[in-house]
């Protein structure tokens, strides 16, 4: 029987794998950028399509890391006022902000899917289809949303233990 902990563990593994793919995407980005700079500087011949490819790789890096960043609680948050509040008030604020974030991410994920389905354009120079990158918004948004749901489950578990 599949439990909530099994699902959370599976989601965490998928999120981590996506993050690793994003991390290793830095390597081709560095190579392409280096080739472009060397080509421009020494041979007055830039790497064709370097800017387009770099934009797509950068989007992969950012999108694939979002869920993992939530998993390890690495998103930026300011606790200047919150740290002075009681434990119960902090928990309420955590729940409210997590629900709000999950709502925003669900809207972005839905819109990402709608735009990806309708997408037919290609890049200007290399004619790279934009659809897979638009679908990546949906996939990474789903992973981030699932991580927010996992965070809510963790907050509910903490409430039961308290």
Residue 81 confidence (pLDDT): 84
pLDDT more than 70, % of the chain: 98
pTM for this one? 0.88
DSSP 46-92: PPTTHHHHHHHHHHHHHHHHHHHHHHTT-S----TTGGGS-HHHHHH
pLDDT, one tens digit per residue, over 9-60 is: 999 999 999 999 999 999 999 999 999 999 999 998 998 899 999 999 999 9
pLDDT, one tens digit per residue, over 92-114 is: 999 999 999 999 999 999 999 99
Residue 74 has pLDDT above 70, yes or no: yes
């Amino acid at each position: 029987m599949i439990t909530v902990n099994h699902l959370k563990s599976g989601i965490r593994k998928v999120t981590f794998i996506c993050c690793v793919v994003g991390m290793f995407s830095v390597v081709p980005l560095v190579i392409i950028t280096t080739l472009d700079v060397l080509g421009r500087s020494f041979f007055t011949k830039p790497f064709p399509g370097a800017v387009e490819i770099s934009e797509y790789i950068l989007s992969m890096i950012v999108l694939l890391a979002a869920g993992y960043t939530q998993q390890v609680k690495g998103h930026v948050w300011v606790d200047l006022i919150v740290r002075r509040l009681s434990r119960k008030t902090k928990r309420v604020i955590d729940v409210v902000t997590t629900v709000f974030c999950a709502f925003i991410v669900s809207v972005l994920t839905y819109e990402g899917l709608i735009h990806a389905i309708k997408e037919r354009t290609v890049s200007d120079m290399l004619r790279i289809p934009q659809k897979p990158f638009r679908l990546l918004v949906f996939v990474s948004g789903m992973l981030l949303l699932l991580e927010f749901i996992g965070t809510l489950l963790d907050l509910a578990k903490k409430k039961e233990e308290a």
